[in-house]
Every structure is written in structure tokens, then in C-alpha cells.
Structure 1
Amino acid sequence: MKFKFDWFLWGMVVAVALAWLIPGPGAHGGWLHPELLNKAGVAVIFFLSGVSLSFAAMKAGALRWPVHVVVQTTTFLIFPLVGVALLWLTDRWISPELNVGFFFLCALPSTVSSSVAMTAAARGNVPVAVFNATLSSLIGVIVTPLWISWRLHTEGGGVDLGKVILDLMLWLVLPLVLGQLARPWLAEWAKRNKKFIHVVDRGTILLIIYTSFCDSIARGVWSGQGLSVVAIAVVGSLILFFVVLWIVEAIAKMAGFNVEDRIATVFCGSKKTIASGVPMAQLIFAADPRLGVILLPLMIYHPLQLVICGVLAGRWAKRPGV
């Protein structure tokens, strides 16, 4: 299968490179004022998501509740527990900040756009994928910070859970709701301007990645890390992906799902969102100077899941009878 040029993936590389070269503007106290700019960016992302979100599509997939139970249990229970087990086994080789980054990845919601796109490409149950991916994003607002709070508490740290959830409600949920309320006036505009919305959404995420790495670099978090941290993040992401993929596929088969539902289950249950993950990290970890390292597993997992799931989608699309 052919792989198209993805400006967003290259944009992540450029954002990190710029942060290494020019960290001042995006660091805390820099002229970009990231403490305000990032929150405004999060609000824009989720307002546009609310405008674009069709509940009619969700309603179409809502009745397949056994699939929903498997996907949401995989996303918010099995995935984090697999992460805990793998991190326990590899603790001596992984730095504390990378450990937090891997667990944050495990606790995130599923993707929306790529899960649906991959399910459609593989001729799976698209309405089920739309419902689960969207439901996952909503559940993640509460469940992800709860998991992170538990994890940091067990490590002797912690987050102000009340403040984190309040920030998520104010900068993420409220804009999402306002976007939904604005749909009667903006739905057609959103339909006509999908490419523009996509560029704004991805561009804002790249800006947040840039400022996150700026702060880490300016505060010396990366000193002495070297390429080994990237290698560990790559290997760890690959192991994590294939372990979860095998588990979710086995559960879907044991549950007796038909092929179309199994495809939707595998894609929704094995994917993690960078579109919501980066803004959520910015709100959950706030001024933590380790944020650049914490985001590294997610930034590596994102392209890996796209490539591997793209290959799977192409293979499943060629099955007999479709």
C-alpha cells in the first residue's frame, strides 16, 4: 500500500527541532505566553470538535452495546493495567518521567478520526467506530486524570485532581458543549471547511508540542538523556501496541463479534489520541518541566499506530465477500 506525505507527522519533528534551536519564546515566561496560549488553543480544538461532531452518526452505532463494553473496557481498564505490568517489568531501564509518559499514553482515550477512517478503509462497522471513539473522548475527561492521579500518588507525587478536572471542564468540555450548541448555525460551514478545521486543529497541537519541549529544554530536563530515551520510547511503544492489539482481538473473537464489529473493536481499542492527548497533558501536568519527555511515548505511538493499522486495514479490506 502507498503511504502519503503527512505534514502533521513532519510538523512534530519540526516543532521539536525548533524547540531545541529556539526554546526561549515557548518556554514559561516567553513572549508567546504559553500558559495562556496553550489553554486558548485547547479551547479552539474542542470548540471545533463540538461543531463537527454529529450525534446522528453516534446514534446509528449506539445499539451494539457488547462492542461498546469491550472497547471502553480495553481503552480505560485493560490498556492501563497492561501499562502498569510492562512498566513494572522494565522499571530499571526507564526514567521516571518516561515512565509517567508511558502510563499517560495508556490512560488516554481512543482516537476519533483515524479509528473511523481505518474502520471504513477495512470495510468494518463505521457507525460503531464513530460511537465508540466519540464516547471514549467524553469518558476520558474524567477517567484519564483519575488514572494519572493514582499513578503519581503511588510514585510519591500527585496532582491537584480537583483543579485538573476543573481545568478540563473549563477548557475542554465547555468549548465542546458550546460547539455542539453552535451546530445549527455552523454545521454546514464545518462540513464545507473540513480541511481548514483539520489544519487549525493539527496546527494548534504542533504549537502545544513546541511550547512543551521549549520548557523542558529551557529547564535542562533533557540533559544527559541522549538518543537512548528515544530508542526506549520506540521499543516500548511497539511492544505496548502489539500486546494490546493481540488482547483486544482475542476478546472480540471470544465475544463472538462478526467481522465488521471485530474490525471496529480492534481499531478503536488499540489506538490512542494525540488530538486530545496533547491538550490534556498540557492541562494535567501544567507547569511540569518534564512535559516534553512525558509526551514522547505518545508522539512515537501516534505514527506507529497509523502505519500498522493502515497495513491491517488494507489487508482486511481484501477479505472475500466484501
Structure 2
Amino acid sequence: MAESPKHSAVPRFSLVEEIKKRWFLLSIVIVIAFAKIYPPLGAKHGPLRPEYTVKYIAVSLIFFNSGLSLKSEELKRALGQVRLHLFIQSFTLLFIPVLIFILTHILEPIHIMSPVYLKGLQVVGCMPPPVSSAVILTKAVGGNEAAAIFNSAAGSFIGIVVTPILLLIFVGTSSSVPFLSIFTKLSMTVLVPLILGQISRNYVKNWLEEKKPPFGTISSCILLLIIYTTFCDTFKKTDSDFSIRSVVSVAILVVLTQLLLVGLAAFLSSFVSDFNRKDRIAVFFCSTHKSLTLGIPILKIVFVDSPDLSSFTLPLLIYHPTQILLGSSLVSMLQSWVQGEETSTTNDDRPIV
């Protein structure tokens, strides 16, 4: 008796699951909406006192959390690939800022959008790589995960010093804060908490490995508070221009810029004979991704009291989800590409089945 054909299970759409996956992106929209409804709550000198609670406590907590969660012992695996590291760091912290500087100066005379948003795009170009997203996507594809971990972590450390310099060179600052003061504040609220987090990790390493605290969620929640207070300051100003048209035009420009950067990273890395496909996956993600977690706190320090702070952050807020969505959409295709190299290397002259 013939068996009835088995129907393959069709995955059903679950709104709850989708919200869980996208909770951070949805939360960004929600906190910006709340900032618009009643900006005095989170604005400077308001009830939340962000000039103290955010500027010092929240920012320090983010970087202490990063230091506590960062597995520095894993970085040793990739130390020998010097050319790969130099390529990634040069691309993200030198090539991209210069390229975007050229692009924004070409676009400025065309008047396609306000110059302040073009400066915001330049701000994105000056940002260091993120600690998490590039590593997660590199691992998902089957790329050089150790190199991704090393470059994301190293880029974050380097970015603490290099990013403020790049911002002052390419964007400038309307603030009267002197250069030395900026780096003093960065050291106290970024570098010191990061180092303290790494030191603390050595004492609670076993507990962390066993309990696996939600470091990413903790940092994301603190970051939402920073985003909220930043936009409260913006909406409190009656002259702020933050229209739907502005958001859409910035989003289009950010997406096109990211596609250009991804294409250039893939193209230029193909000329380096030392890089295999796994290495190029690390290049693909690490050299084009930019950190929101590191970026916004640094902007809050470098552009303190600037009326354009939120306009500067808008392109970065759009770039962050775009890099994740674009990278996620390419995972399947890139997996096949990486596996193709492994199959041909393993089988040598044997036919590929």
C-alpha cells in the first residue's frame, strides 16, 4: 500500500518572533517618537539630566560592558595575518573617510540635501568597525572568524583614538571644546572603562562562560537611552528640520554608499593573492561595517553642545540596520562561494558531484 506523500512543513510567519528579531530597530523608532512627543524630559538640564547620567555614566557603562564581554584570548589566533589586518584597518579608517570626503564635496554643489546630512555621511565614514555584527556575519558565512574577531576588536580600540581625529579633520566641530579636553573625556569615559572591563573579566571569566550574560542586550538598552536623549535635544530646538523627506533622502544616499563600499571592498581584495575566500569574507564585512555602539558616545563627546548633533547621527542610525540587512541577505550566496573553494581544494582532480 503506497504511503501518502508527506507535505513539507511551510514555516509560518510569527509576528512575535519577528518583533524579537527586530526589537532593537523597532525600539530606535519608538524612542525617537517619544523624544518627539515630549522632548524636555530627556533634553539637557531636563529631569533625566543627560549631561551627567548619559555623558558620564551611560557611556562608561557601555564600554565597561564591552571590555567585560570581549574575549581577548581569541584574538591571538589571527595575529600572524598582518597583511589582512592592514588591508581591513586601512580600508575602514583611511580609504572610506577619504572616499566619502570626495563624494560629499561632489554632491554638495548639486544641493540634493542639506549639507549637515552630508556631514553626517562623513561622520559614518570616520566610524570604527563594530565588535559584533561583522563577526556574526563572517561566522554565519564560514569566513575567517578569528580575523574578523581580531579586526573588530582592534578596530574598536584604534577607533577610540583615530575616530575623533578623523572627525576633527573631515567634519570639524562647532564646539569650543579643545582637542586635549576631547581626548581626556574619551580616556575617562571610553578607554578606562574598557580596560577595567577587561581586567574584571579575568576574575569572573568562568562565571561569564557559565552564565553567559546578555551583554549585547545590555549595551543596546543603554544605547537606546543615549539615542533618546540625543533626539530630545534636537526636537527641543524649534529650528530643527527633521522631515520625512530628509529621512528618506538620507536613507537612499546611505544605502547607495554602502553598496559602493561593499563592491569596492570585494573588488580591491581580489587583487591580493594571499587572501583566500574565507579571508575575503572577513574583509567584506569588517572593512565596510561601522559601529553605532562606539560611534554615538564618541559623537556625544566630540560634538558636545553642537546643534547639529542629531543630524550627524541620522546617517549612522540608518547605516547600522542597513549593514545588517544587506549582510544577512547575502549570507546564503556567500556560503556557496566559500564552500566552492573548499570543495575544489579538497577534491583536487576529482570531479565535483
The reply to whether TM is greater than 0.5 is yes
Deviation readout 1:143-192 (Å, 9 max, x if unpaired): 11111111244x98875321111111110000000011111222233334
Residues 7-46 of structure 1: pairs in structure 2 closer than 5 A: 7-38=23-54, 39-46=56-63
Distance 1:276 1:221 in 2: 28
Distance 1:200 1:84 in 2: 34
2:348 matched to which residue of 1? none
- Whether the 8 Å contact between 1:27 and 1:211 is mirrored in structure 2 is yes
1:210 corresponds, among 217, 223, 228, to: 228
Distance 2:88 2:123 in 1: 18
2:37 maps to amino acid: L
1:316 matched to which residue of 2? 334
1:268 maps to amino acid: C
Distance 1:55 1:7 in 2: 28
Deviation readout 1:68-94 (Å, 9 max, x if unpaired): 011001111111011111111111223
1:94 maps to amino acid: M
1:123 corresponds, among 142, 148, 170, to: 142
1:149 corresponds, among 164, 168, 174, to: 168
Per-residue deviation, 1:314: 2.1
Per-residue deviation, 1:17: 0.3
Deviation readout 1:24-57 (Å, 9 max, x if unpaired): 1110110100011112111111111111112211
Structure 1 residues 291, 125: CA separation in 2 closer, same or farther (over 3 Å shift)?
Answer: same
- Whether the 8 Å contact between 1:27 and 1:215 is mirrored in structure 2 is yes
Deviation readout 1:265-312 (Å, 9 max, x if unpaired): 110011001111111111111222322211100110111110111112
- Whether the 8 Å contact between 2:43 and 2:233 is mirrored in structure 1 is yes
Q: Describe the SS at the equivalent of 1:318.
A: helix
Structure 1 residues 156, 46: CA separation in 2 closer, same or farther (over 3 Å shift)?
Answer: closer
Distance 1:220 1:111 in 2: 34
1:163 maps to amino acid: S
- Whether the 8 Å contact between 1:82 and 1:244 is mirrored in structure 2 is no
1:263 matched to which residue of 2? 281
Aligned length: 320
2:229 maps to amino acid: T
Structure 1 residues 191, 148: CA separation in 2 closer, same or farther (over 3 Å shift)?
Answer: same
The percentage of aligned residue pairs carrying the same residue is 29
- Whether the 8 Å contact between 1:190 and 1:197 is mirrored in structure 2 is no
- Gaps spanning 5+ residues in structure 1: where? none
Q: Please, what TM-score do these two structures have when normalized by structure 1?
A: 0.94
Residues 48-67 of structure 1: pairs in structure 2 closer than 5 A: 48-67=65-84
1:250 maps to amino acid: F
The answer to whether 1:113 aligns with 2:132 is yes
- Gaps spanning 5+ residues in structure 2: where? 1-10, 344-353
The answer to whether 1:70 aligns with 2:87 is yes
- Structure with bigger gyration radius: 2
Structure 1 residues 197, 161: CA separation in 2 closer, same or farther (over 3 Å shift)?
Answer: same
Aligned alpha-carbon RMSD (Å): 2.0
Question: Which stretch has the larger CA shift, 69-78 or 89-98?
Answer: 89-98
Distance 1:214 1:317 in 2: 43
- Whether the 8 Å contact between 1:221 and 1:289 is mirrored in structure 2 is no
- Whether the 8 Å contact between 1:149 and 1:158 is mirrored in structure 2 is no
Distance 1:192 1:35 in 2: 37
- Whether the 8 Å contact between 1:19 and 1:214 is mirrored in structure 2 is yes
Q: Describe the SS at the equivalent of 2:41.
A: coil
Q: Please list every run of at least 4 consecutive aligned residues from structure 1 whose deviation after the TM superposition is greater than 6 angstroms.
A: 155-158
2:346 matched to which residue of 1? none
Structure 1 residues 134, 175: CA separation in 2 closer, same or farther (over 3 Å shift)?
Answer: same
2:119 corresponds, among 100, 125, 128, to: 100
Question: Which stretch has the larger CA shift, 159-168 or 187-196?
Answer: 187-196
Residues 221-260 of structure 1: pairs in structure 2 closer than 5 A: 221-223=239-241, 225-256=242-273, 257-260=275-278
Per-residue deviation, 1:220: 2.4
Question: Which stretch has the larger CA shift, 91-100 or 166-175?
Answer: 91-100
Per-residue deviation, 1:111: 1.2
